[in-house]
Amino acid sequence: MTLTLNLAVLLAVVIVVRLRRRTQARSRSDEKLTVVIVLVFGVLIAPTEVGQGILNAVGQLARGISQAGGP
């Protein structure tokens, strides 16, 4: 679990650094690499307590939106 969190933190830093670049300076392969890094980050953080908390928060938000739009 500790290794997963450390790697997730490292990937989060890499993601922030990559996303701070200007959009015009990115090539298509650079954007694909960013997507792969974000997917790996999601897979690493999903089984942790932080990932479960994010999942619960997003689920509650989705339920609230669907109930607000319903009859």
pLDDT tens digit at each of 71 positions of the chain: 555 567 778 888 888 888 887 777 778 888 888 888 888 888 888 887 888 888 888 888 888 888 876 66
pLDDT at 48 (0 to 100): 79
pLDDT of residue 47: 81
Q: What is the pLDDT of residue 43?
A: 82
Task: Count the domains in the chain.
Answer: 1
What lies within 8 Å, CB to CB, of 41 at 6+ separation is: 8, 11, 12, 15
| Domain region containing 65 | 2-69
Show Cβ contacts of residue 44 under 8 Å, excluding neighbours closer than 6 positions: 4, 7, 8, 11
